[in-house]
Amino acid sequence: MASVVTGAQNKRPNPNSTSAAATREGDQLIITPLGAGNEVGRSCVYMSYKGKTVLFDCGIHPAYSGVAALPYFDEIDPSTIDVLLITHFHLDHAASLPYFLEKTNFRGRVFMTHSTKAIYRLLLSDYVKVSKVSVEDMLYDENDIVRSMDKIEVIDFHQTLEVNGIRFWCYTAGHVLGAAMFMVDIAGVRVLYTGDYSREEDRHLRAAEVPQFTPDICIIESTYGVQLHQPRPVREKRFTDVIHSTISQGGRVLIPAFALGRAQELLLILDEYWENHPELHNIPIYYASPLAKRCMAVYQTYINAMNDRIRTQFANSNPFDFKHISPLKSIENFDDVGPSVVMASPSGLQSGLSRQLFDKWCADKKNACVIPGYVVEGTLAKTIINEPKEVTLMNGLVAPLNMQVHYISFSAHADCAQTCGFLKELMPPHIVLVHGEANEMGRLKQKLVSQFADSNTKLYTPKNCQSVTMHFSSEKMAKVIGKLAEKVPETGESVSGLVVKKGFTYQIMAPDDLRVFSQLSTANVTQRITVPYTGAFEVIKYRLKQIYESVESPPVEETEVPTLIVHERVTIRHESDTYVVMQWSADPISDMVSDSVVAMILNIGREGPKVTPIEEKTQEEMERMARKVVHSLMVSLFGDAKFGEDGRLVITVDADVARLDIKSGEVECENQGLRERIKTAFGRMQGAIRPIPKP
Amino acid sequence: MWVRALLCFSKTLSPPPPSPSNFSLRQVPLFSIQKKKKQVPLSLSLSLSRGGMGTSVQVTPLSGVYGENPLCYLVAIDGFNLLMDCGWNDLFDPSLLQPLSRVAKSIDAVLISHPDILHLGALPYARKHFGLSAPVYATEPVYRLGLLTMYDHYLSRRQISDFDMFTLDDIDAAFQNVIRLKYSQNYHLSENGEGIVIAPHVAGHLLGGTIWKITKDGEDVVYAVDFNHRKERHLNGTVLESFVRPAVLITDAYNALNNQVYKRQRDQEFIDAILRVLRADGTVLLPVDTAGRVLELILILEQYWAQQHLSFPIFFLTNVASSTVEYVKSFLEWMSDSIAKSFEHTRDNAFLLKYVTLIINKSDLENYAGVPKVVLTSMASLEVGFSHDIFVELATDAKNIVLFTERGQFGTLARMLQVDPPPKAVKVTMSKRVPLVGDELKAYEEEQEKIKKEEAVKKASIVKVEEVRATSSHLSESTKGDSMVIDPASATASPKGSSHFRGQMDILIDGFTPPSTSVAPMFPFFENTAEWDDFGEVINPDDYVIQEEDSNHMVVNGKSLDVKPDEASVHLLLDSTPSKVVSHELTVQVKCALLYMDFEGRSDGRSVKSIISHVAPLKLVLVHGSAEATEHLKMHCAKHVCPHVYAPQIEETIDVTSDLCAYKVQLSEKLMSNVLFRKMVENEILWMDSVAEKTNEKVLTLLPPPSAPPTHKSVLVGDLKLADFKQYLSTKGVQVEFAGGALKCGEHITVRKISDSSQKVTYTQNSMTAAVSFSCILIDDLCCLQSGWDWSSTDCY
């Protein structure tokens, strides 16, 4: 029995304490950057609303190694996260994913676009291979990456998915192939996370789309702060002019670039330029990145994620089948005999092929080095932008820096104008800036504050682990359907029915309609029990009448055997001389009635036949007894209680006097508090005296 | 027992504190609008429909019911006309499109489900001749492969006849306004379709194949034809089963009477049949579609050839074969999970074909004349195209086999050959396009010359009229260009065309007509306002670039779309050498083997029935299937699925407006802050008692009841599976076993499930004593399992 009681309690925790608090908390939307708050790198933004939790991106910080490079995962409980969304494949957005999937208790679902997933695999394998850290410092290995692939699910642009009531879909972000901006909709509150985005269409990517719906919150990158990009044609012309003039003077051009992303764009520019300049056809272009070569298949396949220009070209030939560019495996295979253009990684000239070539070419003033993107502080690439007289080679020797150095940025991040324009079109009421150095971010914030001065827009620039909290009033709308909706209720009329909540939509319906409008169904539990009983059936009837107000016995002709119906709930049939059969449809009251009936019948059996005189209690007697019981209970509760002259119960507590009408339950009292208490107490007593409502 | 009972009681008894009810009263007018609509003025009916419920839905088949004719259905949702598919058959019979021609102009949107002729073939024709100008919605592969299919059909027709139903330009024009969507992209229609959301979902069957879900006001209309629930090599199975309880489901009865053999067995038989012929030096002809099911066949062959290291050549021959495969390679995200996975891991594109040779010219086959080979070629109907010609060549040799992988369309050669027993001989028409020679050529040239002249003159005059009109209205503005330069067309045409032209029209000089606004004919005067800078007149360098007139270039320019058909089609397009079609009839003795195997990739009858009963629509519309199949499925569904099953005739409009009532309420914070939902599968559920209140104009709010609500009948929610229950009980240490459909627990207790309209679970206890308390636990466990037992009357305190 004890187990039953606890079971019941577990099912119904006290709603006053827990759920009310939980609901109020649920209206709070919390955004916490675990990385990329006032910094660039290890993008990871945590968001929680109405008990649903979403994590955007899962990157590492390229400047640190080992656990230090991870976002602050300790701040959250990974097991509570429902959905993890990865915007694109860059290391600072995706590289801690294998760690998060394999080494934490994260149990949610993770999504990225098709092309991101394909490149993610290659890029991270390469990252694991080239990162030179001790085994203990390794966050994960190749096997973890392969295992993580099975857990990653794919989403296509604009495809709407729903997980646990969280609806989300993604838009083109224009940063790299497969880069996405995620829109998340939880209970009608929309949050847009841009990731890295660019509003400028380039050779192969579409510009970031402007979502159809205004989000309530926009979490946006601020990498370039208030800087402005040069117009694209100008940059492209500078780029090709530098290369053309260098090679026409017999020099060599080195382009240190990260293997994926911008490199493909530059290759497209070069291939096109060569195509249009037949005189250059004898000058070779190499791209020296085995990784990029492996990824080329991905670029050649996911053409549909790119812009119309590429797709138009695709009708004729695959634009990523370069005609004038050949791959280069290593410096040993490189036949350095005359002018050439070489694109090599890494972009920072720290080591590897790009550094080897740099060392070889830096002393000749005919040569040129074109740095095509964002360079990280502390790398050689950053140093040579300032054009020092001498540089230190890898072998430790010092050599003069005679080669020309050009910095032409093709970085596909939004600049200030794009960000302002984008936000102006969207006009989100809340803007959260992430992914930018503190200074740049601060300047952008100032700029945006002045731009949105006359609107109600709120701007936030949280640091890592600093939470931003917003409140959204939750107006819950429900749809009443089916039989319940046949008549629209007037004010004051009651509406009772089943509320079915799916995701964040509510439907109210009659139990009969449950099967029609949902996958659920209602059921009845019919219980039949056979109780051994050898006595006379009349005895049962008599006993029952003593306990219950309503005991019917329909004529035998209708039921074949003698039958009793208690409160129109429980049927007792005397089917044989040795037993009776009880049948009822389970619900709390019927169960209770039937339990008592069973106990009673068993007791009759045990006590043996015992004749008791029939003693019909009149209604009056019943009333009198009820009065007595109420009186004595009131005395035990309030002390001084006696019947007044008008038949009402007069209760005196200290100076307050209350009069209770036992028939109607009305209380007359000056003291509000006392009146309520007496009313409640009386209600409970009534419930105890007449537990079974008359059907 | 008593403890438990009392516990339940204490809950029902504790009365909730009275809550203040100081809100004003209001009522929302929410009632069935459908019937009222006709009587009330328009403005009123609008406001009613907005506040109320009942999205009106009407379905009118235009083609493709009670038979296998092309699919084309009109679905009107609140007056917004959606055309579901716009199909034609392989014979391009215009009489089939009569019903469409009558409504084409009123259509607001076209939704296409599959890239084959039966689903989209009539688009170019309807656009050209019926004025169908609505935007077309389709997935990217449906758009692309559909376009290629149309090209292939056109080119095949054109080769053997003066086919003039539509031209390549008409195809391009029809496909130009296709809006391309992704799977499960919710696309919100605008303007008079406001409020309607359309979303394509995976259908299986063909690459990009779509089930359309159309939603308005929370009511779903699902259009699902030719779906396939089985996962195949290149496609995922349909997601139809995840749509539960749509208001209307429109589906086909095409396969209602067909049942399929197991996939593996069928594949093996297919391969065996092919190999038997190849090993006996025969040729296998597979008449296929252009870009649909053929992809699956190619993968089957590729896979088997790779496994067995076979060297028999395989050819895929259509007018657009290489483009097709090139595009298909870039559609990996639309294909099955296994293809996507293999690409992610190894970057092996499944359609990087190693054994299948793509050819676009039948002459390429000549080198392999005597060699055993497999040829996959379009048209599946054998009516025209490469398959027709190759069939005629192969049919007379008993070594060969023609292996049909789909049922031929009605009235086609393929259908004739699929009857049992096959005909001994068939009559075919061999047609060929031959260049004109001799007198014919001369006559033709003269005629062309004449037409050209007339056209040029006409065009020139039109151009001039427009130009003059334009310039005269802008005379004040400085026109930078060369308005004085005579249009080249008129310049060349004038010397020849002037003589017979002058008399007819009242003009002074060729190519010049007075602007309609002028009173008397006058020469227009154009001020030459060339810009000058320090170096002289400003010129546009582009004017001096010598244009390279290469043929390729012209095609790309000439065609507004970004698709280049294969060279063969280019030749044909540019082929200006006058030609004519020569035909002769001949009788072909059919000696080769004929075999039909079902590779259509549609769910079979049994699966269709179980899917429909799982989806359990409120109303069901059946289309596309033979009369017997439609009747059969209709009977079945009326009995097992829902009472409202319709199978309308062509142009018969049926109203499937849902007759359910609904109104919206706001759940007040006070009510919702004190409730506790119980989880049931995907739903959360609770019993609620509340009181309605009108707070403002429209909103009806539900508040907690001021007093203890009357008790209600307890509701037990959930579907108990006896097998689950058995497992649950055995974990609790109860001995359970199935006996005669009932669950016997221990000696005394039996649990029986009676499924009827309202589900029942019955317990029978045969004997007494210990069993009683045990049964209580049992029931309580049952409730725990179902977790929907609603103990108390309300959750508001």
User: A311-346: per-residue pLDDT in tens?
Assistant: 888 777 778 888 888 888 778 888 888 899 999 888
Pair of tokens at residue A413: 């991040």
Taking contacts as CB-CB distances below 8 angstroms, the residues of chain B near A498 are 685-688, 715, 717
> Using 50, 70 and 90 to split pLDDT, how confident is the model at A133?
low
CB of B719 within 8 Å of a chain A CB? The answer is yes
Tell me what the pLDDT averaged over chain B comes to: 77
| pLDDT higher at A669 or B577 | A669
Over 70: is that where the pLDDT of B2 sits? no
d(CA A487, CA A510): 13
- Beta pairing partners, A580: A531
Over 90: is that where the pLDDT of B237 sits? yes
Q: What is the DSSP letter of B484?
A: T
Q: Which of A303, A483, A587 to mutate to test the interface with B (most CBs of B within 10 A)?
A: A587
Which residue of chain A is at minimal alpha-carbon distance from B714? A587
Over 60: is that where the pLDDT of B766 sits? no
Of the candidate ranges A213-227, A456-470, A546-560, the one whose mean pLDDT is the lowest = A546-560
Which residue of chain A is at minimal alpha-carbon distance from B761? A525
Q: What is the pLDDT of residue B529?
A: 62
Output A6-9 pairs: Cβ under 8 A, ≥24 positions apart: A7/B780, A7/B784, A8/B4, A8/B7, A8/B8, A8/B780, A8/B791
Q: What is the pLDDT of residue B44?
A: 30
Return the closest-CA partner of residue A45 out of A460, A406, A399, A454.
Answer: A460
d(CA B718, CA B706): 30
Over 90: is that where the pLDDT of A662 sits? no
> Using 50, 70 and 90 to split pLDDT, how confident is the model at A678?
confident
Q: Which of A501, A506, A573, A596 to mutate to test the interface with B (most CBs of B within 10 A)?
A: A501
| pLDDT higher at A677 or B743 | A677
Q: What is the pLDDT of residue A560?
A: 77
> Using 50, 70 and 90 to split pLDDT, how confident is the model at A476?
confident
Neighbours of A665 (CB within 10 A): 13
Question: Stretch B470-492: mean pLDDT, rounded?
Answer: 45
CB of B560 within 8 Å of a chain A CB? The answer is no
Helix axes B140-160, B567-574, angle to 10 degrees: 50
Q: What is the pLDDT of residue A351?
A: 77
H/E stretch holding A444 reads: helix A438-451
Cβ–Cβ pairs < 8 A, chains A and B: 350
CB of B684 within 8 Å of a chain A CB? The answer is yes
CB of A491 within 8 Å of a chain B CB? The answer is yes
Percent of residues, chain A, with pLDDT higher than 70: 92
Question: Stretch A414-431: mean pLDDT, rounded?
Answer: 92
pLDDT digits (tens, 9 = 90+) for B283-322: 999 999 999 999 999 999 999 999 999 999 999 999 999 8
Residue contact A528–B763, C-beta within 8 A: yes
Pair of tokens at residue A449: 């504050």
Q: Got the DSSP string for A158-220?
A: TB-EEETTEEEEEEE--SSTT-EEEEEEETTEEEEE--S---S--SSSPPPPPPSS--SEEEE
Over 80: is that where the pLDDT of B37 sits? no
| pLDDT higher at A617 or A56 | A56
Q: Which of B144, B666, B682, B782 to mutate to test the interface with A (most CBs of A within 10 A)?
A: B682
- Which SS3 state, helix, strand or coil, does residue A460 take? strand
H/E stretch holding B533 reads: strand B532-533
Q: Got the DSSP string for B759-793?
A: EEEEEEE-S-THHHHHHHHHHHHHHHHH-----SS
How do A579-585 and A570-573 pair as beta strands?
antiparallel
d(CA A250, CA A259): 26
Over 70: is that where the pLDDT of B557 sits? no
pLDDT digits (tens, 9 = 90+) for B751-760: 777 765 444 5
CB of B734 within 8 Å of a chain A CB? The answer is no
CB of B179 within 8 Å of a chain A CB? The answer is no
CB of B27 within 8 Å of a chain A CB? The answer is yes
d(CA B366, CA A411): 54
Pair of tokens at residue B141: 């592969």
> Using 50, 70 and 90 to split pLDDT, how confident is the model at A370?
very high
Taking contacts as CB-CB distances below 8 angstroms, the residues of chain A near B329 are 301
pLDDT digits (tens, 9 = 90+) for B398-447: 999 999 999 888 888 898 888 888 888 888 888 888 877 778 888 888 88
- Helix residue ranges per DSSP H, A277-377: 290-301, 308-316, 352-361
**165-184 of A, contacting B, C-beta below 8 A:** 169
CB of A591 within 8 Å of a chain B CB? The answer is yes
Over 70: is that where the pLDDT of B506 sits? no
Contact call for residues B247 and B57 (beta carbons, < 8 A): yes
Of the candidate ranges A634-643, B20-29, B131-140, B533-542, the one whose mean pLDDT is the lowest = B20-29
Q: What is the pLDDT of residue A45?
A: 95
Which residue of chain B is at minimal alpha-carbon distance from A511? B715
- Helix residue ranges per DSSP H, A52-168: 91-94, 97-103, 114-130, 142-151
Q: What is the pLDDT of residue B755?
A: 65
Q: What is the pLDDT of residue B691?
A: 84
Pair of tokens at residue B496: 């020849």
Of the candidate ranges A26-40, A504-518, B329-343, the one whose mean pLDDT is the lowest = A504-518
Q: Is A413 a catalytic residue?
A: yes
Q: What is the pLDDT of residue B520?
A: 58
Range B310-330 burial, b when 16+ CB lie within 10 A, else e? bebbbbbbbbbbebbbbbbbb
Q: What is the pLDDT of residue B471?
A: 53
Residue contact B330–A592, C-beta within 8 A: no
Return the closest-CA partner of residue A171 out of A411, A374, A426, A420.
Answer: A426
Return the closest-CA partner of residue B326 out of A313, A369, A261.
Answer: A313
- Measured between CB atoms, which of A4, A496, A529 is closest to B712? A496
> Using 50, 70 and 90 to split pLDDT, how confident is the model at B498?
very low
Chain center to CA of B428: 34
| pLDDT higher at A512 or A242 | A242
CB of A22 within 8 Å of a chain B CB? The answer is no
d(CA B395, CA B417): 11
d(CA B579, CA A337): 57
Over 70: is that where the pLDDT of A607 sits? no
d(CA B145, CA B136): 15
CB of A238 within 8 Å of a chain B CB? The answer is no
**31-60 of B, contacting A, C-beta below 8 A:** 31, 53
Taking contacts as CB-CB distances below 8 angstroms, the residues of chain A near B664 are 477-480
- Which SS3 state, helix, strand or coil, does residue B625 take? strand
Residue B264 CA: distances (Å) to CA of A70, A229, A338, B271 = 48, 59, 60, 11
Q: What is the pLDDT of residue A593?
A: 85
pLDDT digits (tens, 9 = 90+) for A391-413: 888 888 888 889 999 988 888 88
Rg (CA), chain A: 39
> Using 50, 70 and 90 to split pLDDT, how confident is the model at B545?
low
Contact call for residues B209 and B142 (beta carbons, < 8 A): yes
Over 80: is that where the pLDDT of B206 sits? yes
Residue contact B709–A496, C-beta within 8 A: yes
Taking contacts as CB-CB distances below 8 angstroms, the residues of chain B near A304 are 140, 330-331, 333
Query: Which of A271-275, A632-636, B20-24, B514-518 shows the highest mean pLDDT?
Result: A271-275
Among the listed residues A90, A324, A406, A413, the single catalytic one is A413
Taking contacts as CB-CB distances below 8 angstroms, the residues of chain B near A508 are 665, 688
Q: What is the pLDDT of residue B714?
A: 72
pLDDT digits (tens, 9 = 90+) for A504-550: 778 888 887 887 777 777 777 777 888 888 878 888 888 888 888 88
Question: Stretch A283-300: mean pLDDT, rounded?
Answer: 84
Write down the pTM of the prediction: 0.74
d(CA A175, CA B154): 41
- Measured between CB atoms, which of B672, B767, B773 is closest to A23? B672
d(CA B218, CA A31): 31
Percent of residues, chain A, with pLDDT higher than 90: 29
pLDDT digits (tens, 9 = 90+) for B644-672: 999 999 999 999 887 777 788 888 777 77
Over 70: is that where the pLDDT of B518 sits? no
Residue contact A298–B347, C-beta within 8 A: yes
> Using 50, 70 and 90 to split pLDDT, how confident is the model at B106?
very high
- Which SS3 state, helix, strand or coil, does residue B505 take? coil
Question: Stretch B618-637: mean pLDDT, rounded?
Answer: 93
Contact call for residues B685 and B788 (beta carbons, < 8 A): yes
Residue B173 CA: distances (Å) to CA of A159, B71, B179 = 28, 21, 13
Q: What is the pLDDT of residue B25?
A: 33
Over 50: is that where the pLDDT of A474 sits? yes
Q: What is the pLDDT of residue A454?
A: 83
> Using 50, 70 and 90 to split pLDDT, how confident is the model at B510?
low
Question: Stretch A681-693: mean pLDDT, rounded?
Answer: 78
d(CA B527, CA B525): 7
Over 90: is that where the pLDDT of A692 sits? no
| pLDDT higher at A612 or A619 | A619
Q: What is the pLDDT of residue B474?
A: 52
- Which SS3 state, helix, strand or coil, does residue A536 take? coil
Neighbours of B337 (CB within 10 A): 11
Residue contact B759–A522, C-beta within 8 A: yes
Q: What is the pLDDT of residue B10?
A: 31
Over 70: is that where the pLDDT of A621 sits? yes
Tell me what the pLDDT averaged over chain A comes to: 84
Question: Stretch B61-76: mean pLDDT, rounded?
Answer: 93
